[in-house]
Amino acid sequence: MTIDEVYKSILADYDEVLHRLKKPERILRFIKAFPEEKTMEKLEKAIEAHDCEEAFLAVHNMKGISLNLGFSNLSKYCEALTEELRDKDELPKKEVLEPLIDALKKEYEKAVEIIKKLD
């Protein structure tokens, strides 16, 4: 799978990212590093520990990474969770939090699975 095919599969705009990052090699380096990024793991640990501040920091970081890479679907879910956690002392109720986490995790795992198919 080519990098362009990866972007099409993730429903992201490769040309926009290329315009911003300038070199295909740079994009490829960042894309290949994405599955090794520990942000999702940090988010899950923070949620388990009921640490709203750490959860916010983790998802906010993931939002930045996904925006820089042009992963608009993933960044959309990160944005929703970021706003739900912003300026809170404790995590939202389970019925609010779980659908957001589940949607974000599903989109994250989809991106990772597709990236791992890169040639």
CATH at 64: 1.20.120
Per-residue pLDDT 10s for the chain (119 aa) are 888 888 888 878 888 899 988 998 999 999 999 999 999 999 999 999 999 999 999 999 999 999 999 998 999 999 999 999 999 999 989 999 999 999 999 999 999 999 998 87
Farthest CA pair distance, the chain? 44
pTM for the whole thing? Answer: 0.88
Question: In this predicted structure, what is the pLDDT of residue 119?
Answer: 72
Expressed as residue numbers, the domain containing 93 is 3-115
- Which 8-state DSSP code applies to residue 35? G
Reading the block at residue 95, the tokens are 């019925």
8, 1 Cβ separation under 8 angstroms: no
The answer for residues whose C-beta is within 8 angstroms of residue 17's C-beta and 6 or more apart is 7, 27, 68, 69, 70
* Residue 12 burial (10 A CB sphere; 0-12, 13-18, 19+): buried
The answer for residues whose C-beta is within 8 angstroms of residue 73's C-beta and 6 or more apart is 10, 11, 12, 107
Question: In this predicted structure, what is the pLDDT of residue 109?
Answer: 94
Nearest to 85 by CA among 114, 118, 52: 52
Reading the block at residue 88, the tokens are 């809170």
Reading the block at residue 37, the tokens are 């990024």
Number of domains present in the structure of the chain: 1
